[in-house]
Each structure stands twice: as structure tokens, then as C-alpha cells.
């Protein structure tokens, strides 16, 4: 006997998430009945319905039934109803199942007299048969995915059963008819057509073996054969009852396995932890129980609602509650890496190896002190004590300035203070972290803020590990202060950056435009920072007017692009008074200039700036000025 997942219909009124004892072959009742059904020497006068949840293995079972029938000399045709929208299309699908050569011109073989019996079978203008070919039996799969009204489908089946005496099996997830406009009609028509309903249970062992046979990696296949019991355990705890999720996750695992080196695979503990984590998160994500952000921000979202009894637990916490002996927030595969694998289908081999090497399963002498303390639950007391001593020395020396590392250090310092391990109260620890930030700003070592898409700490983690105490008020205060000071430190550099931009504009207009207006390059920060507001607008106008005509036009086009899409009302609103002053200074200079210079400057201002600034101008000309 083996433990298997039972569908709701077969659980004798129990919950649909129960795990019950089922036979080693949970579908023996189905295969046994259909073997007798197709061997009948007479027409049974009714159709059989195989029902079960999507992914329960119904189609896989159908293939096995067809193959078994062929061994006994019986021809059973299997036809997918997926997307079929008319009786004519069903006829054609059945004909192609019986005569697959009709779908190609590679053979001269054609149906012989006697091949088709029963219903009329004229050919269409392409020579395709329109009748229903003779066979021992017919299996119509994916009935619920047909585009036809279910009454039309069952009417077609009834004609085969009653008029032509055919043996017919329907395969569908009955639950999918609930709520459909024709759901009630299905129940009424089913009573006339279907004489026996059988429920297909997921047969993990049979499906698992078939799935493994499709893997290309011998190493991955061998590992998964040996880990079958572990995979089964995770699958049963998932309560999805969907074998397709197993197949899809096996493919994901194969790619991750292929990225590893022999030394990684040899670490049985690491491999088991990775496999269980990957399968559990994959099952939950692919089943729609968790979202992409739950995967990418796993280290933070695992705590959703845990500090607030009035708040509903997050999806990730609810999913994790189903698994025993499994740590859903295991960091062996970091959040961003796991997100790439499961959400985007990207497996970066180098990053996979780096993640394994950086994990607690592969300790390194070069491991940062904060990471050793982070893994305190997995390290010995002496190792932790040494790391704490080094960490506090590095904290005092302000050794860290990479934003993610600084936040990890703050998280560990606050944790140690809370444990009473460093002699600081929590308020003092918060004050010390703020002082650390102040010193970095004074030294000009604070990293500037990044755009959201480039912010590698936005999900509350860095280097694959979540920040300790991410949802505590103390960490929240320190992180908020850190962000405020990063923004302030960024503003400290505006004047120097603006001076540099002026020098660039005088010598290389193209580079100047790239720095201020290349909105397509998210990594260029000055595009969205009001650095130009620190420049003397009159001096800027003089430099601008002194440019050669083509360079002037290039810079004005760049300014136009910089202020396009309402940027002056959003990120660059502090620059609006400045550019208005630049405009006025340019027009004053133009008024005193020779006629062609005056015309060139006025046209550039009108075309490049006036619309962005909301300045009404006479309707003179249009488009970019000529050189």
C-alpha cells in the first residue's frame, strides 16, 4: 500500500485535501473496468465518463489504456476535444486519429474499402473523410475544453452510442462545468448518455517514472530516481493532486542540477534541501497559491501577518503551513535566483554555483562576519562568538558601505542587542546605527538611491538573505533614516555634478545629452535628478548660446527630451524655475544678437522648451529647427 491523494468525489464525503491510504495502483478500478468494457462482444448502450482534476493524470492514463488495448488486438481511438467547435471538426479529428496519414502527403496509402463503417462518410473538397471510422472504442479527452455547447457534444456521443452501437469513453473534469452557462444542461444530458462514472486518482509512481524517462540528463535522472520518496512526500503535502506540476518542476530541477559541479552534488544535505525547496515553491507557484512577488520577496513575505494578529496571514505563510520538515525560507536558493528560475524560466549556471558556495552548506574562510552571525542557528558557539567580535570591530571602523551589506550589519547588530549579546539596549543600538549612517554621509561613502527596478534591496534582502528583523520597528526606523540620508547625500553632490555637466557640454554636446536625457538607460541617474537647478541659469544660457549651431540644436533637443512626458511636474519639478530662467536669459541674449543667431535661438526655445514649460508662443513654424 502507498499513500496517495484522494479526489473529493472518492473521499466518501471527506475534505478534498485529505490524504488517505489508496492501492499501489490507485486507478486499478479504472483500467480493470475499461478492459472489460472494450472487450464486450456487444454494444453496452452507454458511455463511460472518466473524471478527475486537471493534472490528475487522466490523459496519461488514456494513453496507457490505448496501448493496452493494442496489445490485445483492439483499436481504440483517442481524440482530444480541446478547441473543437463543431461536429464536423469532431468527425475530422476522429478520422485523423484512425488514418493519421490524411494529415500528410508523404504516403500514398489511402483508406481501403471496409476501413470505415457505420455512419455515412463522404469526403470534403480536400478529400478528408467526414464519417466516423470503425474502431473497437473511442476516447474523447478534454471534453470540458471543447468550444462547443456541452449539449452538442453529448448529442454527438449519444448518436455514436445509441445509433451506431459504439463503445465511447469521455474524459473531463466535471468540476469545470460548475458555474458554466451550460452546466445544468451537462447534468441532464449526462444522465441520458453516461452509464458509469469513474474517478481518476493521481498515480504518482506511474507518472513519475514516465516523466523521468523524458529527462536528458542522466545525472539528474539518477538523482531523482533515488529521491523519489522525498519528491513524493513534498507532492503529497502540497495537496495539489496535479501531476503536471511534478513534470514541470522536474524540468526546472534538471536545469539547476546541470549548473552544479560534482562537489555540490556530492553534498547530500545541500542537494536534499535544494530539491525540497525547489519542488515546494514550484508546486505552490505553478498552482497559483502564491504570486511571483511571494517568490522574489520570500525572505520578507514569509513573515506577513506574523507580528499583527489582526492581519490575515500572507499567501506564502499559508502555503508553508502545509509542509512539515521543510523550511520554505531556506536561503540555499536566494529569492532573486529562485524567482528567475520559477517565474522567468532563467537558470544562470554561474549564479546557481555561487549561491551554493555562499550557503551554510559550503562554509568559507572568507565568509563575512555578518553572514556567519546570520547563520547563527547553524553554527557552533565558538564560531559565532568569534564572528560577533569581528562584526563589532568592523562596525566601529565603519568597514561596510555597500547598501545591502550595511543593512545586513544593522540587522545583526539590532538582533544581538535584543539578545543582550553586546551590552547595548535596543535604543542605543538604533542610535549607533544612525551614527554609522551619519559618518558614511560625512565621508561621502553613502551609495545614492537607485531606481526601483535597479534597487537590489527593495524586497528586504541582499545577497540571497533577508534582513534580520525586517518587520521590527527598530529596523524600520534605521532603514528609513538610511534611505533619507542616502537621498540627502545624493543632493550633496548635485553642485559638483552640475559643474561637471557644464564642462562636458562645452566640449562634447553628445555626451552631455546622454547624461541628462537618455531616458532609455535606467542606469544613468542624472536623467531623473534635478542637478541642473544648482547651475547659474544666466551662465548656462551664455554657454548654450555660444555653441555652434548644430551643437546648440543637439543640446536643445536633449533638454526637450529631458522635460518630456511631464517630468517637470514630477521628478524634475525643482528644475522648472531654473529652466524658465534659462529660457528668459536665452531670449534676452537673442534679442541683442545678429538676425540669424536671434532666429536660431528663438526657434530652438519655441520648439524645445515652450510646450514643456506651458509657455504660450505665437504659432510660427513647426517641428525641429533646421541647422
527-562 pLDDT tens trace = 888 999 999 999 999 999 999 999 999 999 999 999
State the DSSP string of 189-217: HHHHHEEEEEEPPP-HHHHHHHHHTT-S-
Q: Is the pLDDT of residue 341 over 60?
A: yes
pLDDT at 296: 85
3-state SS of the chain: helix, strand, coil percent to 5? 55, 5, 35
Q: Is the pLDDT of residue 102 over 70?
A: no
**Rounded to whole angstroms, how far apart are CA atoms 419 and 414?**
9
Indicate if 81 and 216 belong to the same structural domain. Answer: no
Domain that holds residue 583: 496-519+527-613
Indicate if 131 and 245 belong to the same structural domain. Answer: no
Q: Is the pLDDT of residue 621 over 80?
A: no
Indicate if 183 and 210 belong to the same structural domain. Answer: no
285 occurs within a structural domain: yes
Residue 87 in contact with residue 153, Cβ under 8 Å?
Answer: no
Q: Of 151, 185, 202, which residue constitutes the final position of a domain?
A: 202
Q: Is the pLDDT of residue 300 over 80?
A: no
pLDDT at 435: 97
9 or 146, which is more confident: 146
Residues 508-527, mean pLDDT to the nearest whole number:
78
Q: Please state, for a pLDDT cut of 90, what percent of the chain lies above it.
A: 43
Q: Of 324, 358, 392, which residue constitutes the final position of a domain?
A: 358
Indicate if 73 and 99 belong to the same structural domain. Answer: yes
Indicate if 222 and 333 belong to the same structural domain. Answer: yes
Indicate if 375 and 299 belong to the same structural domain. Answer: no
Q: Is the pLDDT of residue 227 over 50?
A: yes
Tell me whether residue 543 is exposed, middle or buried, using C-beta atoms within 10 angstroms of its C-beta: 0 to 12, 13 to 18, 19 or more: middle
**Rounded to whole angstroms, how far apart are CA atoms 129 and 121?**
6
Residues 413-441, mean pLDDT to the nearest whole number:
96
234 occurs within a structural domain: yes
In this structure, of 113-122, 237-246, 255-264, the range with the lowest mean pLDDT score is: 113-122
Indicate if 343 and 451 belong to the same structural domain. Answer: no
626 occurs within a structural domain: no
Indicate if 330 and 431 belong to the same structural domain. Answer: no
Tell me whether residue 621 is exposed, middle or buried, using C-beta atoms within 10 angstroms of its C-beta: 0 to 12, 13 to 18, 19 or more: exposed
Domain total of the chain: 4
Tell me whether residue 319 is exposed, middle or buried, using C-beta atoms within 10 angstroms of its C-beta: 0 to 12, 13 to 18, 19 or more: buried
Read off the pLDDT band of 20 (50, 70, 90).
very low
Residue 588 in contact with residue 582, Cβ under 8 Å?
Answer: no
Tell me whether residue 396 is exposed, middle or buried, using C-beta atoms within 10 angstroms of its C-beta: 0 to 12, 13 to 18, 19 or more: exposed
Grid cell of 245 as nine digits: 506540476
Indicate if 509 and 461 belong to the same structural domain. Answer: no
pLDDT at 90: 86
Q: Is the pLDDT of residue 15 over 60?
A: no
**Rounded to whole angstroms, how far apart are CA atoms 273 and 172?**
37
Give per-residue burial for 44-54: e unless 16+ CB within 10 Å, then b: bebbbbbbbbe
375 occurs within a structural domain: yes
Contacts of 604 (CB under 8 A, 6+ apart): 552, 553, 556, 625
Grid cell of 316 as nine digits: 506564502
In this structure, of 96-110, 470-484, 518-532, 550-564, the range with the lowest mean pLDDT score is: 96-110
**Rounded to whole angstroms, how far apart are CA atoms 60 and 141?**
11
Q: How far is CA 492 from the centre of its chain?
A: 38
619 occurs within a structural domain: no
Domain holding 15: CATH number? 3.40.50.300
Tell me whether residue 591 is exposed, middle or buried, using C-beta atoms within 10 angstroms of its C-beta: 0 to 12, 13 to 18, 19 or more: exposed
Closest residue by Cα to residue 407 from 371, 367, 356 = 371
Give the up-direction half-sphere exposure of residue 357: CA atoms within 13 A in the CB hemisphere.
14
Q: Is the pLDDT of residue 301 over 50?
A: yes
Q: What Cα–Cα distance (Å) separates residue 251 from each residue in 210, 215, 284, 347, 518?
A: 13, 7, 16, 11, 40
Indicate if 416 and 500 belong to the same structural domain. Answer: no
Indicate if 84 and 175 belong to the same structural domain. Answer: yes
Indicate if 354 and 301 belong to the same structural domain. Answer: yes
Q: Of 202, 225, 259, which residue constitutes the final position of a domain?
A: 202
Give per-residue burial for 144-173: e unless 16+ CB within 10 Å, then b: bebebbbebbbebbbebbeeeebbbbbbbb
Amino acid at each position: 500500500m502507498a499513500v496517495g491523494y484522494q479526489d473529493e468525489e472518492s473521499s466518501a464525503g471527506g475534505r478534498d485535501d485529505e490524504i488517505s491510504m489508496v492501492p499501489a495502483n490507485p486507478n486499478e478500478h479504472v483500467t480493470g473496468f475499461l478492459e472489460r468494457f472494450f472487450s464486450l462482444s456487444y454494444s453496452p448502450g452507454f458511455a463511460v465518463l472518466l473524471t478527475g482534476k486537471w493534472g490528475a493524470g487522466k490523459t496519461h492514463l488514456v494513453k496507457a489504456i490505448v496501448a493496452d488495448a493494442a496489445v490485445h488486438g483492439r483499436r481504440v481511438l483517442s481524440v482530444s476535444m480541446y478547441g473543437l467547435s463543431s461536429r464536423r471538426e469532431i468527425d475530422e479529428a476522429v478520422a485523423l486519429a484512425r488514418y493519421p496519414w490524411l494529415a500528410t502527403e508523404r504516403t500514398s496509402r489511402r483508406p481501403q474499402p471496409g476501413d470505415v463503417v457505420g455512419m455515412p462518410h463522404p469526403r470534403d473538397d480536400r478529400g478528408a473523410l467526414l464519417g466516423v471510422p470503425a474502431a473497437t472504442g473511442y476516447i474523447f479527452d478534454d471534453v470540458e475544453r471543447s468550444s462547443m455547447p456541452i449539449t452538442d457534444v453529448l448529442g454527438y456521443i449519444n448518436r455514436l452510442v445509441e445509433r451506431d452501437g459504439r463503445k465511447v469513453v469521455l474524459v473531463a473534469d466535471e468540476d469545470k462545468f460548475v458555474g458554466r452557462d451550460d452546466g445544468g444542461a451537462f447534468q441532464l444530458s449526462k444522465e441520458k448518455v453516461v452509464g458509469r462514472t469513474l474517478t481518476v486518482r493521481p498515480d504518482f509512481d506511474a507518472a513519475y517514472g514516465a516523466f523521468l524517462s523524458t529527462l536528458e540528463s542522466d545525472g539528474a535522472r539518477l538523482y531523482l530516481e533515488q529521491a523519489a520518496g522525498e519528491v513524493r512526500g513534498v507532492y503529497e503535502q502540497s495537496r495539489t493532486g496535479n501531476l503536471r506540476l511534478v513534470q514541470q518542476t522536474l524540468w526546472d530541477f534538471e536545469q539547476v542540477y546541470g549548473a552544479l559541479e560534482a562537489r555540490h552534488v556530492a553534498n547530500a544535505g545541500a542537494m536534499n534541501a535544494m530539491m525540497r525547496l525547489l519542488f515546494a515553491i514550484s508546486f505552490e507557484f505553478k498552482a497559483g497559491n502564491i504570486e511571483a512577488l511571494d517568490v522574489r520577496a520570500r525572505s520578507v513575505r514569509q513573515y506577513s501577518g506574523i507580528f499583527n494578529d489582526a492581519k490575515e496571514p500572507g499567501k506564502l505563510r499559508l502555503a508553508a503551513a502545509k509542509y512539515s520538515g521543510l523550511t520554505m525560507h531556506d536561503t540555499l536558493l536566494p529569492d532573486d535566483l529562485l524567482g528567475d528560475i520559477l517565474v522567468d524560466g532563467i537558470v544562470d549556471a554561474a549564479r546557481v554555483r555561487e549561491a551554493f558556495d555562499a550557503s551554510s552548506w559550503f562554509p568559507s574562510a572568507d565568509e563575512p562576519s555578518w553572514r556567519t552571525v546570520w547563520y547563527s542557528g547553524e553554527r557552533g558557539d565558538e564560531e559565532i562568538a568569534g564572528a560577533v567580535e569581528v562584526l563589532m570591530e568592523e562596525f566601529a571602523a565603519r568597514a561596510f558601505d555597500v547598501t545591502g551589506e550595511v543593512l545586513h550589519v544593522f540587522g545583526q547588530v539590532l538582533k544581538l542587542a535584543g539578545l543582550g549579546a553586546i551590552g547595548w539596549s535596543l535604543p542605543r543600538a538604533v542610535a549607533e546605527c544612525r551614527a554609522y549612517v551619519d559618518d558614511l554621509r560625512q565621508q561621502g561613502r553613502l551609495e545614492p538611491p537607485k531606481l526601483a527596478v535597479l534597487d537590489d534591496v527593495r524586497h528586504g534582502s541582499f545577497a540571497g538573505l533577508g534582513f534580520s528583523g525586517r518587520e521590527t520597528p527598530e529596523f524600520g526606523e534605521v532603514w528609513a533614516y538610511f534611505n533619507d540620508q542616502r537621498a540627502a547625500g545624493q543632493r550633496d553632490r548635485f553642485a559638483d555634478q552640475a559643474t561637471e555637466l557644464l564642462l562636458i557640454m562645452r566640449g562634447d554636446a553628445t555626451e552631455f545629452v546622454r547624461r541628462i536625457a537618455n531616458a532609455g538607460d535606467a542606469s544613468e541617474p542624472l536623467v531623473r535628478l534635478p542637478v541642473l537647478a544648482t547651475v547659474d541659469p544666466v551662465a548656462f544660457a551664455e554657454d548654450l548660446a555660444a555653441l555652434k549651431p548644430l551643437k546648440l540644436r543637439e543640446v536643445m533637443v536633449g533638454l526637450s527630451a529631458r522635460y518630456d512626458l511631464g517630468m517637470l511636474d514630477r521628478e524634475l519639478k525643482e528644475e522648472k524655475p531654473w529652466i524658465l530662467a534659462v529660457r528668459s536669459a536665452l531670449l534676452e541674449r537673442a534679442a541683442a544678437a545678429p538676425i540669424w543667431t536671434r532666429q536660431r535661438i528663438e526657434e530652438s526655445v519655441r520648439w524645445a522648451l515652450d510646450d514643456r514649460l506651458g509657455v504660450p508662443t505665437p504659432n510660427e513654424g513647426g517641428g525641429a529647427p533646421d541647422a
